[in-house]
Structures are given as structure tokens and as C-alpha cells.
Structure 1
Amino acid sequence: MNRRGFLKMTGGGVILAAATGGAFVTTRRPDAALAPWQTAGTYVDPRMNALSHAILAPNPHNRQPWIVRLDGDDGATLFFDTEKQLPHTDPFDRQLTIGLGCFLELMRMAAAADGYAVETKLFPQGEDAQSLDNRPVATVRFTKSSVAPDALFDHVMQRRSNKEPFDTDRTIHAETLSRILQTPTTARVGGSIAPDDVAFWRALTTQALHVEIETPRTFKESVDLFRIGKAEINANPDGIDFGGPLFEALSHAGIMTREASLDTGSQAYIQGVAAVTENTQTAMGHLWLVSDTNTRADQIACGADWLRINLACTREGLGFQPLSQPLQEYPEMSAHFATTHARLAPGGGTVQMLARIGYGPGVEVSPRWPIEAKIGTM
């Protein structure tokens, strides 16, 4: 849901009341939840330095499904936080595993920038294709090295998932897309800015969004993760955040609440649907990632690839938003899932990720738990 959609809801009255209160506006930023973006890279321990960057990685619904145990002086073990599962929209934990792959890749890039190589062993105690569990996802070892820094790491602090409408008057040049598609990946990366393709994916991703929203259990899974206003975001800096004076004013007015968002007759629901579909309808191009097989290791590798693709878009000044809905694996989505695979993986394989790209407005960083809150003893 974007701000433009909600501005249509009240005729401006509630928003005006919030905007005219200077003190109210300036104190609505959830600074505690955004602080990890400022403290990244400020630690003495090279593992903590790298991990403080890794927690900034993109991940589904901003669940931040990682727990890390520090081992000895140079090791660490990554675990999956089983309380962060998305059983309705991600029943096999595939998307969450991709998020863990983003985490590991950003950790590796941060370590390299600090002069350390990272040796990684995936799923040392085995894995389950049906769901992640309490067994380690990876063990890592840090070694001082002359490994070359990754140039894409320079764009980490500017990376965003842009959930605002893109500028439909500004096209993406073929040379720009070509540079993005040259990003080294282990999976097959593809993309298109052709008008016919853009029109097709605008329609399909909009339809898939409607399926997710109109399926009560999948929509409720998202709504349950709404964090509305500064207090909620600071208390739980994960999930889907709605911060700033606009959303706080709508919440206080009873317009933007979790209950209203689930009520299909409410303005929060009606305008929320209009807002998210405005995003899919303003896509100016699309990117995707296909793996030949679909093991947990493949999903981790695709996470690394996807982070790099996101950073390559950031380098080019492009807005980037994952569109996971048509890739979700529940019965109501099966038709869109099949269509997506038939078009993007006709010879076989798994479409792991799909995103819209375009030129959009600047947006705030996403809230994060501090790295200290993610260090465990499992």
C-alpha cells in the first residue's frame, strides 16, 4: 500500500490535521527501528561487522528469519527462526530460504570489504524440502584474506524495495537492462522492457495480487504483520511497516487499522487494493530468476543472485520491487503459477523470483531488528 492511494481516502481532512502539527510530524519517525542502517559496519569483531550489514538484506514480508550463533573467535552458525514462517503464502519456506541466501551473500560481501574471506557450508546436518526446521542453515568461517571487494557492495546503503508507483513517462533503456542482465548469477536471469511483455506481466501480477488479497487466509497473513505507526514499528521492527504522520493520523481516525484492512467494505480495504495494484500497473519492465532444480542449496544460491540483481538495479538508479504473488504455492494461485512457469521456464525449472522495475520516488529504508537481537545460542 502506498501513500498516494491513502491520500484519496479522506478528502485530505485527516491528513491536513496531521500535516499542520509540526511537532507531531517531526516525532513520528521510528528512529529506533531504523538505527541498524546507521550502525552497520561499526563493530570491532569482523563477524559482527559483516552480520550488521547482512541484517539489511531483503527478505519476504520483512520477516528477518535469521538467528546467528557466534562460534569461537572466527566462526558463526546461521539458523532459521521457525517463528517467522509464512505458512499460507510460503508453505514450503522457499521464499524465506531465498531471504536467507540474500543474508549470506550480503554477509560475504561485507566481509570481503573488510578484508575477510568467508567459507560457508550449507545445511551441515541435513535439510527438509517441505519446511525449514531448527537444524543449521549454514556454518561459516572468517579468514583474513586479500579477497577483492565486490563493487556492488558500494550500493548496499541505497538499496530499497520500492513499493511506490513508478514514472510511466520514463522508459528504461535497453543498454540499462543489458548491464543488469550481465550481473554474474548461478541461476538463469532474464528480463524484458518490451511493451507486449510489460503489458502481459502488469496484467498477470495484478491478477495474482487480487488472488492473494481475496483469499482470506493469505491476506490475513499479511495484515497480521502490519505495523502501524511509530510505536508499533519500534516495538516490532519487522513485518509490513506503515510509518509517518499520515498513517498515524489514519490509524487514530479509525481508517487504517488491521480490522478495517480486513473488512472488504471499508475504505482501508478498497483504497489499499487500489494502491497496490497501481504499483503493478506502473511497472516499466520486469526481471526474473529461474533455477534448473529447486533444492534448498538452489534457493540459497538464488538469494545471493537476487541480492546482486537488486544491487545492480540500485547502481542504475532503478526502483525495484519483488512481485512474489504468482510464484506462491497454494491452490488458489495454481493457475498463475502455471502460466508464469510456462512463459519463463518452458523447458523446465523453477521460477524463483519476479520483480517490477522502473524509475520511482525515493523511499525510506525498511525497519530492522538490531544485530544484537539476532544473536542466539541455539
Structure 2
Amino acid sequence: MSRRRTLALIGGGTILAATGGVAWEVTRPLTDAVAPWDLAGSYPDPRMRALSWAILAPNSHNLQPWKVDLSRPDEVVLYPDLDRLLPETDPFNRQITISLGCFLELMRMAALEDGLAVEAELFPEGADPGGLDGRPVAICRFRPTTEARDPLFAQAAIRRSNKEPYDMARRVPTEALARIAAAARQTEVGVTDDPETVAALREITVRAMEIEIDTPRTYAESVEVFRIGRREVEANPDGLEFHGPAFETMRLFGLFTREAAGNPESAAFAQGKTAVLGPIATAMAHIWQVTPDNSRETQIATGRDWLRINLAAVEEGIGFHPLSQGLQEYPEMADVFAGLHDRLAPDGGTVQMLGRLGYGPEIGPTPRWPLEAKIMA
């Protein structure tokens, strides 16, 4: 969501002036919720150093669906957190598995900074294509290596999913798109800056988001993880956060509540929807991934490459925003899903991810749970 653009839209565009103690409350910045970005790489154990970076990986709805077992020396065993799934919009846990692939790739890159390779044995106890379960996703073994550091890792600390409106007067250079696509190692990446194609994909991706918002059960899945105001974000640094002076003011005066945001008859719902859809229509280029199959191993590979092309976009100074609503596998999305596959994978295969690119404003880091919260007892 383009939450910052929602500031003056929710509640009929009314922002109440705040003074005195209220002003102090509404202007307080996030602290603990963004501390993991500053702590990354600061642990004495090399596994913990690598993991402290891995938890900063992009992931669906910012649910951070990972947990790790460190009970064996020189190993990290990665599990899915089954309490952090999206059963309505991601019924087969495909996007959650892609998120775990992003985690594994960032951990691998970070370990190389310490001269360590990470050998990941995927799904050592097997996997169910119908959904993730309590079995491990990967056993990751750390060992010394002479392999060179990955240059993309230099962008890890400033990587963002930029969901703000992009500058529609500034095109994305074709040569930059080619360099971003070339960062992938295991999946086919398509890109376009063709105005006609971009316009068509804008329309399709806006429609996909409309379907997700207008389908009560899928939208409720998002509303459930809304974190409204600094206090909520600090207490639960995951999900979809809404913080900053205007949101704090609206929260204090009852202009933005979870109930209003979830009520399709409310002004907050209508204006919030407009604010969410607007940035999607400012795409200046699109990028997507296609794989020949849809196995769990392939989904992990997709996540690894999604992280890589995201970092490559950061290196180019280009905004990067995942837009995979149209690739979700639930009935109401079936027509959009089929249309995107016909357009982006005409020779067959699975379109795993889709995003928009462009030049947007600078944004801050997304909240994260501390690493310690993700280590299994």
C-alpha cells in the first residue's frame, strides 16, 4: 500500500491540528521497530550476523514468515512460521515460499561477507504443493570459502519496496532495466518500458488490486494486520504499518480506525482505496519472473532472484514495488491470473512475480521483529 499517500485522504481529507502534548505524541518516530536495520551485522556469531541481515528480506505483507533453529553448530535450520500465512490471498503458500527464498539469498550474501558459504539443503523431509507445514524449508550449513563477495549485498541496508507514486515525467532507461534483469541467476526475468505495454499492465495491476480490496475475505486478511499508529507498530513490528504525524492525529481523533478502514460503506474505505490504486497507475516500467514449473524448490529460486533484482534496482537508484495481486490463486482473481499468464508467459510456465519500476521519493525502512524473536527455543 502507498500508506504515506493516504495521509490526507482518510477521514474526508481532514487533518486536525495538534498542539502541546498531542503534538509530542504524534511526531515521535519509530525506534525499536526499525532497530534491526541498524543492528544488522553486529552479532559475534557469524550465523547470527548472516541472519540479522536475512530478516530484512522482502516478504509478503511484511509478515516475516520465518523462524530458525540454531541448536546445531555451523547450521541454521529454516522453518515456515505457520502462524504467519495468508490463506485467502495465498492459499497454496506460494508467495510465502518465495519470501523464504528471499531470506535464504540475503543470508547467503551476508555470510559471504565473513568468508563463509551457505549450502542449503531444501525441503530435506519433503514438501506438500498444497501448502507449507511443520517440516523444515532448508538445512543451511556454513563452511569457509574463497568465493568472492556478492557486490549486490552493498545495497542490502538501503533496500526498500517503494510503494509511493513514481515520477511519470522520468522514464526508466532501457539499459538499466537490462542490468536489473541480468542480476537473476535461476529464473527468467522479463522487463518492459514500452509505453503501450506499460499502460496495459498498469490497467491490469490496478484491476487486480481492486479485486483484492473488493473481495471481503481477501481484504479482511490485510485489515487484520493493519498496524495503526506508532504504538501499534512498536508493539507488533510486522504487517502493514500506518504511522507518522498525520496518521497519529487521525488515530487520536478517531478518523482512522481498523473498523472504518474495513467498512466498504465508509469514507475511509473509499478514499483509502483511491490512495492505494493511484501509485500503481504511475508505473514507468514493469518487471516479472517466469519459471517452467511451480515446485517448492522453484519458488525458493524465485525468491532468491527476486531479492537480487530488487537489490539491482536499488543500485540503479530505481524504485521497486511488488504487484503480484493478479498472480494470486483464488477464484475471484482467475480471469486476471489467466490474462497475465497469456501476456507474460505465452509459451507456458508460471508467472511467479510482477512489479513496477520508476523513480519515487526516498522512504524509510520497514519495521522488523528483532532477530531474537525469530530463533526457536
Q: Which amino acid aligns with 1:33?
A: A
Once the two structures are TM-superposed, the CA of residue 20 in structure 1 deviates from its matched residue by: 10
SS of the aligned residue for 1:289 comes to strand
Residue 202 in structure 1 maps to residue 202 in structure 2 = yes
Q: Specify the code of the residue in structure 2 equivalent to 1:41.
A: G
User: Is residue 24 of structure 2 the alignment partner of residue 23 of structure 1?
Assistant: yes
Aligned-pair CA distance for 1:297: 0.1
Q: Superposition pairs for residues 208-223 of structure 1, below 5 Å?
A: 208-223=208-223
Q: Residue in 1 aligned with 2:124?
A: 124
Q: 1:178, CA displacement in angstroms?
A: 1.6
Q: Distance in 2 between matches of 1:126 and 1:250?
A: 48
CA distance in 2, matches of 1:247, 1:218: 24
1:306-325 equivalent positions in 2, closer than 5 A = 306-325=306-325
Counterpart residue number, 1:136? 136
Q: Quick one: structure 1 residues 19 and 182, their matched pair in 2 at CA, closer, same or farther if it must change by over 3 Å? A: farther
- How far, CA to CA, are the matches of 1:123 and 1:179 in structure 2? 32
Query: In the superposition, relative to structure 1, how do residues 18 and 39 fare at CA in structure 2: closer, same or farther (>3 Å)?
Result: farther
Distance 1:255 1:176 in 2: 42
Could you tell me whether the CA contact under 8 Å between 1:18 and 1:24 is conserved in 2? Answer: no
Q: Which residue of 2 is the match for residue 333 of structure 1?
A: 333
Contact persistence 2:191–2:288 (CA under 8 A) = yes
Q: Deviation digits for residues 195-234 of structure 1, max 9, x if unmatched?
A: 0011001000001111000000000000000001111111
Shift in CA distance, 253/359, structure 1 to aligned 2, threshold 3 Å: same
> How is 1:32-111 mapped onto 2 (pairs within 5 angstroms)?
32-111=32-111
**Alpha-carbon separation, structure 1, partners of 2:255 and 2:286:** 33
Q: Specify the code of the residue in structure 1 equivalent to 2:343.
A: R
Shift of 1:73: 2.1
Q: 1:45 to 1:172 in 2, by over 3 A?
A: same
Indicate how the Cα distance of structure 1 residues 46 and 196 shifts in structure 2: closer, same or farther if over 3 A, else same.
same
Specify the alignment match of 1:7 in structure 2: 8
Partner Cα distance (2:20, 2:363) in 1: 19
Q: Distance in 1 between matches of 2:248 and 2:325?
A: 28
- Conserved in 2, the CA contact under 8 Å of 1:14 and 1:253? no
Q: For residues 14 and 111 of structure 1, what CA distance do their matches in structure 2 show?
A: 46
Residues 183 and 119 of structure 1, relative CA distance in 2, 3 Å threshold: same
How many percent of aligned residue pairs carry the same amino acid? Answer: 53
Q: Give the alignment of 1:223-302 within 5 angstroms.
A: 223-302=223-302
Determine helix, strand or coil for the equivalent of 1:268: helix
CA displacement at 1:72 relative to structure 2: 2.5
Instruction: Give me the whole-angstrom Cα distance separating, in 1, the residues matched to 2:20 and 2:155.
Output: 33
Paired residues in the alignment total 376
State how far apart, in whole Å, the 2-side matches of 1:59 and 1:158 are: 16
Summarize the Cα distance change of 1:220–1:13 in structure 2 as closer, same or farther, 3 Å threshold.
closer
Tell me how far apart the structure 1 counterparts of residues 12 and 325 of structure 2 sit (CA, whole Å).
Answer: 31
Instruction: Report the TM-score, using the length of structure 1 for normalisation.
Output: 0.96
> Structure 1 residues 94 and 19 mapped into 2: Cα distance closer, same or farther (>3 Å)?
farther
- Secondary structure of 1:72's aligned partner: coil
Distance 1:21 1:12, change over 3 A: farther
Contact 2:208 2:325 in 1 (8 A): yes
Distance 1:127 1:5 in 2: 40
The residue number in structure 2 matching 1:180 is 180
Stretch moving more, 254-263 or 103-112: 254-263
CA apart distance, 1:90: 0.2
Q: Tell whether 2:305 aligns with 1:305.
A: yes
Q: Which runs of 5+ in 1 are unaligned?
A: none
TM-score, normalised on structure 2?
0.97
Change in CA separation of 1:192 and 1:20 when aligned onto 2, cut-off 3 Å: farther
Are the structure 2 counterparts of residues 301 and 15 from structure 1 closer, same or farther at C-alpha, using a change threshold of 3 Å? farther
User: What residue identity is the alignment partner of 1:297?
Assistant: E
Which residues of structure 2 form unaligned runs of 5+? none
The structure-2 alpha-carbon separation of the partners of 1:21 and 1:375, relative to structure 1 and needing over 3 Å to count, comes to same
Deviates more, 1:171-180 or 1:93-102: 171-180
**Matched residue, 1:348:** 348
Distance 1:246 1:213, change over 3 A: same
Give distance in 1, aligned partners of 2:19 and 2:325: 34
Q: Does the Cα contact within 8 Å between 1:18 and 1:245 map onto a contact in 2?
A: no
Cα drift, residue 140 of structure 1: 0.8
Cα–Cα, structure 1 residues 11 and 132, in superposed 2: closer, same or farther, change >3 Å? closer
On the 8 A contact 1:209/1:277 being kept in 2, the answer is yes
Q: Distance in 2 between matches of 1:19 and 1:201?
A: 47
Higher mean C-alpha displacement, 42-51 vs 69-78: 69-78
- 1:146 counterpart residue number: 146
Amino acid of the residue matched to residue 157 of structure 1?
Answer: A
Quote how far apart the aligned CAs of 1:368 are. 0.4
